[in-house]
Amino acid sequence: MPGSRTKGLGLADVDVALLAGGLGTRVRDVLGDLPKVLAPLGDETLLDSQLRWLAGWGARRIVICLGFRHEMVIDHLNRAPPVAAVLLPSIEPQPLGTAGAIIWARGLFKQDTILVMNGDTMLEGDLAGFIDSHGVSGAACSILCVLVDDAARYGRVFANADGKVTGFEEKGREGPGMVSAGAYLMNRSFLDEWIKPGPGSLEKDVFPRALNGSVRVHVGGFRFLDIGTPESLARARLGRGNFVAGSG
């Protein structure tokens, strides 16, 4: 039940779902047929970096939602697991999108709370604070958001004074705004009520329908970087100091 977890435990009693099944079409010229999560970042891959960051916050079970070139990802993990956490691959039978991938993996989740995170979005910030905020709020779903100087690339998230999400705006309009940082905390009840089997998008199909007060924002001073373009991938290779600084 909301608020029942012990404050400050981080991911110790939260399951993680890492969305890593995308086709990576925008970085295909850079990576070729290599899955985006296996993009090299210095001495390790993007996936290794993500898993180490999550393990650093206490993650014990990480479900890796796979699709494109999943065999390469599983082979990489079998050869050199980067963390001691339990890693559970969930292989999509077809491209299912962010929502479809989560509901396809539903049976692998044991905890009541799941951290859903885009595999190509790297974060820096107080993850334990995000988790504690979700528990205290009583929300069925919390979207990690940051305030940026120009939201044109990301699209905006709108919320009222109580933090309840009231709407979304597609990317394109320039100027400051609140944007999603690509991480969500969901109770399993939210999955069962709002996410239907089959292809679908969290951002386009699920969240815009769930505007009944069950979805809230957590605005934190996180730094983030979406490596979905050649330019942002190049920035990721320069180190975490090159992430976009969001204010909270």
Is residue 50, in this structure, part of any structural domain at all? Answer: yes
CA pair distance 122, 244, nearest whole angstrom? 10
Instruction: Measure the CA–CA gap between 140 and 87, rounded to whole angstroms.
Output: 25
pLDDT in tens, the chain (248 residues): 333 344 445 898 999 999 998 765 655 555 667 788 888 877 788 899 899 999 999 999 999 999 888 999 999 999 888 888 999 999 999 999 999 999 999 999 999 999 999 988 888 889 999 999 999 999 999 999 999 899 988 889 999 999 999 999 998 889 999 999 999 999 999 999 999 999 999 999 999 999 998 999 999 888 888 777 767 676 666 665 445 544 44
Residue 195 lies in a domain: yes
Tokens standing for residue 27: 């970085």
Would you state the pLDDT for residue 205?
94
1 belongs to a structural domain:
no
Residue 218, classed as helix, strand or coil, is: strand
At residue 51, the pLDDT reads 94
Place of tokens 């929502």: 99
Q: Where in the sequence is the domain holding 32, given as residue range(s)?
A: 15-245
Split into its structural domains, the chain has a count of 1
Query: Does some domain include residue 8?
Result: no
Beta strand 121-124 with 223-226: parallel, antiparallel or unpaired?
A: antiparallel
Contact 165, 209 (CB under 8 A): no
Here the CATH number for the domain that contains residue 229 is 3.90.550.10
What is the spatial distance between Cα 119 and Cα 227, in angstroms, rounded to a whole number?
9
Q: Is 32 exposed, middle or buried (0-12, 13-18, 19+ CB in 10 A)?
A: exposed
Cβ–Cβ < 8 Å for 21, 68: yes
Rounded Cα–Cα distance for residues 61 and 42 (Å): 26
Task: Report phi then psi at 111, rounded to 5.
Answer: -85, 160
Q: How many Cα atoms are found within 13 Å in the side-chain-facing hemisphere of 103?
A: 20
